[in-house]
Chain A
Amino acid sequence: MAGIVVVGEVGAGGLRPVSWEALAAGRAVAEALGEPLVGLIMGSGVDEEARTFGAGLDRLLVADQPELDMLTAETATAVLAAAIRDVEPSVVLMPGTTLGRDYAPRLAARLGVPCAADCIDFAVEDGALVAVRPVLGGRVQSVVRFTGEGPWLATVRPGSFEQAQTASDASPAPEAVAVELSADDLRVSVRETVEKQAGPTNLTAAKVVVSGGRGLKEPDNFRLVEDLARVLDGAVGATRAVVDAGWRPHHEQIGQTGVTVSPRLYVAVGVSGAVQHNVGMHGSDYVVAINRDPDAPIFKIAAFGIVGDAFEVVPAIIEALEAGRG
């Protein structure tokens, strides 16, 4: 039995969006290979998420048991190994989350099969899976080709695929994955997860966010960002690079380890657009980027980009906005 297994991930707020991205990627690979599309959800009390995820798929696997409440690299690896033994898939796509990037390579070593990390695109060439992954800071990409016996494993980088639309309401009958967890699988235990502090409401609720990055060179130059935010009636955000450097307070940090914002307009000034930053703002309706480097990844998600020096461009924007208001 062949198939493409796509693993969804259930987080504090339900199914993580990357689950749908992985599913979209998996559906394209399944069509190219002419194989069934199989969903997998693991956790404890994840019935509802499994049914939601399974709608329109050919098969749905569910590993639901109390020990899987707080998944670890080891317990997730055990689930995947059991599911792969049952299904014998040719490809397994997993979310490129902290957890997924822990268990996918662990699983690869257990099975002795190849795994490509953090992929942003897939294709099938001559029956072989190829994946695109960003390297060297994200400004260039490498095309990775899988060879030999499968299953071929890959993690999907959050924010790089359109989220799959549920194709139909009908969900295949869930098939339980029987997982026997060994003592070794349970060596790491999660004591607690303290949810991220929500940032001040003016940032998370703002209709306009203007954020600045290391491209501003010095903390004092953040004045430019503040001025632009003022004329746009927006809030100020920052990248981790400048928060780590002590230029801005942590509650202004946007991204994976900061707050998530989804304003109508997001203006990024001197921000490279690292994936960890983008996951915190890719829900914005319109992204505007000002960056000196035409290859900066931020331009890939920008609806309007200006390649130029922030120190010239931002004052000019402020002037043009103020002039327009008369």
Chain B
Amino acid sequence: MHIVVLIKQVPDMNAVRIDKGTGRAVLSDQRVISSYDAYAIEEALRLKERHGGEVTIISAGPPSVKDALTRALAMGADRAVLVQLADVHELDTLAVARVLAEQIRQIPYDLVLAGQSSDDYESGQVPPHVAELLNLPMVSSVMGLEIEGERLILRRDVEDGSQTVEAPMPALLMAITGLNEPRYPSLKGIMAAKKKPLDLVEASPVEPSRLSWTEPEAPERTTSGVIVQDLPAAEAAQQLVGWLREQKLVS
């Protein structure tokens, strides 16, 4: 079974700060694999362990993405492709998806796995775009995966509960928390990764983005509620309790 996994390298979201002066987000230099993508990698490795085959990791981005790909190779993937795209953050999701779809077309595959959404821009749009461009059936929010004969049996998490769906292969699946517990690279894996192929390829011509966006800023507070700040705990607590009594929420 040939599996392609799409991963994105993102700044560590646990280290985002808001600059009080500008209201802008200050991102950490620490770059990691977007969290849902780790489930996609892990699931691909488990499928390979059970059914044989090859796992190819593809990511589009700047040279730093090599670190993310190397980590995926150390976890056990067979080969990695870095599609060089320095300005990936200035492109809209459809432009990125076109570049990724073009790469995927070059290799044989039975499954494409991706994350449910990226940690930084959280659009969740790249995988559905890719599925459409490759004319693949897609299933999102995948929490469980089994193969029965030629068919995928998938458990997903939706608003109304837990859903079981069936899909043929090839297909594109989007992974969320609960699918598995991603492994850490072993020392042996880290050594082995150094000898695995990591290809740098040029992106296919990028089509113009149809969406443009401003640099993210902290919103003006829109709450109509009362916010108390910079008060000693006892005083803040007194104000809250006074308010709770006014609203008749406590006696």
> A residues bordering B, Cβ < 8 Å?
11-12, 16, 72-74, 77, 97-99, 101-110, 112-118, 134-137, 139-148, 184, 187-196, 208, 232, 244, 256-257, 264-265, 286-288, 294-295, 299-309, 312-313, 315-317, 319-321, 324
Query: Which chain A residue shows the least CB distance to B224?
Result: A303
List residues of chain A with CB within 8 A of the CB of B166. Answer: 188-189, 191
Known: A187-B137, A265-B249; 7 extra A-B contacts, CB below 8 A, are A72-B165, A74-B137, A140-B218, A141-B218, A145-B212, A190-B164, A306-B236
The distance from the CB of A221 to the nearest CB of chain B, in whole angstroms, is: 16
Known contacts A73-B128, A98-B158; decide if A313 and B236 are in contact (CB<8 Å): yes
CB neighbours of A257 from chain B (8 A)? 157
**With A and B bound together, what is the CA distance between A188 and B123 in angstroms?**
23
Residue numbers in A under 8 Å from B212 (CB-CB): 144-145, 147
Tell me which residues from 223 to 241 in chain B have a Cβ below 8 Å from any Cβ of chain A: 223, 225-231, 233-234, 236-238, 240-241
B229 near A294: Cβ-Cβ < 8 Å: yes
Given A195-B160, A307-B229, A308-B233, the answer on whether A135 and B121 have CB atoms closer than 8 Å is yes
Contact call A141/B217, Cβ cutoff below 8 A: yes
State how many angstroms separate the Cβ of B18 from the closest Cβ of chain A. 5
Would you call B132 and A316 a contact (CB within 8 A)?
no
A184/B123 in contact, CB under 8 A = no
User: How many A-B contacts at CB < 8 Å in the complex?
Assistant: 250
Asked whether, in the complex, the Cβ of B238 is within 8 Å of the Cβ of A307, the reply is no
Q: Which chain B positions have C-beta within 8 A of A73?
A: 128, 131, 138-140
Distance in Å: Cβ of B242 to nearest Cβ of chain A: 9
Q: A193-B161, A307-B228 are in contact. Are A116 and B211 (CB under 8 A)?
A: yes
Q: Which of B42-50, B68-76, B78-86, B92-100 lines the interface with chain A?
A: B92-100
Closest Cβ–Cβ distance, residue B227 to chain A (whole Å): 4
A324 with B241: CB separation less than 8 A: yes
Please give, as numbers and ranges, the residues of chain A lying within 8 Å of B129 by CB-CB distance.
Answer: 105-106, 108-109
The residue among A101, A194, A244, A309 with the most chain B CB atoms within 10 A of its own CB is A101
A-B contact pairs, 7 of them (CB 8 A): A104-B128, A135-B120, A140-B219, A187-B167, A244-B177, A303-B226, A304-B225
Q: Which of A137, A141, A193 interacts with B162 by CB under 8 Å?
A: A193
Provide the residues of chain A in CB contact with B167, threshold 8 Å.
187-189
CB distance from B130 to the nearest CB of A (A): 8
- Bound Cα distance A145, B219 (Å): 17
B142-172 CB mask vs A (1 if < 8 Å, else 0) is: 0000000000010011111111111110010
**Is B247 in contact with A11, judged by CB distance below 8 angstroms?**
no
Q: How far, in angstroms, from A324 to B245 measured CA to CA in the complex?
A: 10
Q: In the complex, what distance in Å separates the CA atom of A109 from the CA atom of B126?
A: 10
* Chain B interface category by residue count: 35 or more
Q: Which 9 A-B pairs have the closest CB atoms?
A: A316-B237, A109-B132, A114-B210, A140-B216, A312-B233, A105-B125, A187-B137, A105-B128, A307-B229
A313 touches B211 (CB 8 A): no
Within 8 A of A (CB), among B79-136: 92-94, 97, 119-126, 128-133, 135
**Cross-interface CB contact of A108 among B18, B94, B161, B162, cutoff 8 Å:** B94
Q: Is the CB of A302 within 8 A of B241?
A: no
Report the nearest A residue to B18, measured CB to CB: A295
Q: Which residue of A lies closest to B133 (CB)?
A: A109
Who on chain A is nearest to B119 by CB?
A137
A136 to B118 Cα, complex, angstroms = 9
B243 interfacial by beta-carbon distance below 8 Å: yes
Assess whether B16 is interfacial by the CB under 8 Å rule: yes
The answer to whether B93 touches A105 (Cβ under 8 A) is yes
Instruction: Tell me the B16-55 residues at the A interface (CB within 8 Å).
Output: 16, 18, 23-25, 27
Q: Are A319 and B227 in contact (CB under 8 A)?
A: no
B215: chain A residues within 8 A (beta carbon): 142
Q: Please, which residues of chain A bring their CB within 8 A of the CB of B138?
A: 73-74, 102, 106, 188
Contact between chains at B125 and A140 (CB < 8 Å): no
Give the docked Cα–Cα distance between A114 and B123 (Å). Answer: 13
B59 at the interface (CB under 8 A from A): no
Tell whether, in the assembled complex, residue B216 and residue A319 are in contact, meaning their CB atoms are under 8 Å apart.
Answer: no
Say yes or no: is B221 at the interface (Cβ < 8 Å to chain A): yes
Report yes or no: B13 in contact with A184, Cβ–Cβ below 8 A: no
Q: Contact check, A146 vs B210: say whether CB atoms are below 8 A apart.
A: yes
Contact between A139 and B233 (Cβ–Cβ < 8 Å)? no
Report A-chain residues with C-beta under 8 Å of the C-beta of B247.
Answer: 286
The residues of A that contact B27 with a CB separation of less than 8 Å are: 136
- Nearest B residue to A191 by beta-carbon distance? B164
Q: Bound complex: CA of A316 vs CA of B236, how far in Å? A: 8
Check if A313 sits within 8 Å of B214, measured CB to CB. no
Q: Is B124 a contact of A101 with CB atoms below 8 Å?
A: yes
